[in-house]
Chains A and B, each alone.
Chain A
Amino acid sequence: MIAANQPVQRPSNAKVLMVDGRGNIKHHVRSDLANLLRRGDVVVANDAATLPASLSGQHCRTGCSIEVRLAGRPSLAEVRQYSAVVFGEGDFRTRTESRAEPPTLNPGDQLELGRLRATVVRLLNHPRFILMRFEGSSREIWEGLARHGRPIQYSHIPTPLAVWDTWTTIAGPPVAFEPPSAGFALDWNMLASMRARKIGFGTITHAAGLSSTGDPQLDALLPFAEPYRIPRSTASMIEHAQASHGRIIAVGTTVVRALEHSAEISNGFVPPGEQLATQRLGASSRLRIVDAVLSGTHERGSSHYELLRAFVNDETLGRIDQELNAYHYRTHEFGDSVFLEKADNQMRSAGHPSVAA
Chain B
Amino acid sequence: MGRSLLDKLWDEHVVCQPEGEPALLYIDLHLVHEVTSPQAFDGLRAAGRRVRRADLTVATVDHNVPTTPNHRPIDDPIAARQIEALQANCAEFGIPLFDMDSPEQGIVHVIGPELGATLPGKTVVCGDSHTSTHGAFGALGFGIGTSEVEHVLATQCLPQHKPKSMLVRVNGRLAPGVTAKDLALSFIAKIGTGGATGHAVEYAGEAIQVLSMDARMTLCNLTIEAGARAGMVAPDDTTFAYVKGRRFAPQGASWDKAVAQWRALASDPDAHFDQVVELYASSLVPQVTWGTNPAMVVGVDGEVPNPKAAKTEVDRKAIERALEYMGLSAGTPIEEIKIDVAFIGSCTNSRLEDLREAARVAAGHRVASGVRALVVPGSQEIKRAAESEGLDQIFKAAGFEWREPGCSMCLGMNPDIVLPGQRSASTSNRNFEGRQGRGARTHLVSPAMAAAAAVVGHFTDVRRWEYRQASAGGK
Asked if A pairs with B, the answer is: no
